[in-house]
Amino acid sequence: MLNLNMIDTLGGGIKKMFILQRNRHFPMPDYDLKEPDKVKVRIIGKVIDENYTRMLIQKTDLSLEEVIALDKVQKRKPINEEEFKHLKRKDLIEGRRPNLFVSAEVAAATDTKADYIRKRAFDKQHYIKMMKEYLEKFGYATRQDIDKLLLDKISDALNSRQKNKFISNLLQEMRRQGIIYSVGGKRGRGAVWKLSKEET
């Protein structure tokens, strides 16, 4: 047992377990100290979120506190304000509460993500222009047409669910600005979008 590193040789058992797991790039142990005379612990020996794992491999300078907070994020447990701000500032997490997730590809992606935020207003104009051109050419478009037109051009800083919603929001925005309208005011799947007369 000693050789297998399964016996706590030096004191500081609990903290040591955290560090051990960190060094193995595994999720943090879940301690349960609710019963006064017992210590229950769950050690997870598999990857929960590969972004978390990759982050630990890439960023060796994370403090134990940071790793623990990140662990909460991957386990979808709530984190406090302080932890949230800290992780967000360091671009270690993304998303909006309560739907946070561990950032993907830390080093490279922080740039892309920043790029995305900086350019998104500009990009939006670009997408609107593309959609207008499409509608001018073909007269109408279904959601599938629009997805095909834009989906692969949207920044990879967004996941596919976010990309979908981005297009939905974009359509709504254009509708509200009176650039386009849904033929017969249709909702749901069958909606067909057209350019408003003033825009043609």
Partner DNA sequence: TGGTACCAATAAAGCAGATG
Partner DNA sequence: CATCTGCTTTATTGGTACCA
Residue ranges in contact with DNA by CB under 7 A: 88, 95-97, 99, 117-118, 120-121, 124, 143-144, 158, 162, 164-166, 168-169, 171-173, 175-176, 182, 185-191, 193
CB atoms within 10 A of CB 55: 24
Q: How far is the CB of 71 from DNA (least distance, A)?
A: 19
Assign 196 to helix, strand or coil. coil
Q: How far is the CB of 43 from DNA (least distance, A)?
A: 30
Which is nearer to DNA, 17 or 182 (by Cβ)? 182
Tell how far CA 66 is from the center of its chain: 18
CB of 135 to DNA, least distance (A): 13
| Smallest gap from residue 44 Cβ to DNA (A) | 25
The smaller minimum CB distance to DNA, of residues 19 and 128, is found at 128
Tell me, what amino acid is at 119?
A: K
Contact 92, 46 (CB under 8 A): no
Q: Which residues contact 186 (CB under 8 A, 6 or more apart)?
A: 192
The distance of Cα 72 from the centroid of its chain, to the nearest Å, equals 15
Which CB, 36 or 188, lies closer to DNA?
188
CB nearer DNA, residue 62 or residue 110: 110
> Which of 58/142 has CB closer to DNA?
142
CB of 186 to DNA, least distance (A): 6
- Asked if 103 contacts 91 with a C-beta cutoff of 8 angstroms, the reply is yes
Beta strands in the chain (DSSP E): 30-32, 40-42, 93-96, 99-102, 140-142, 180-182, 192-195
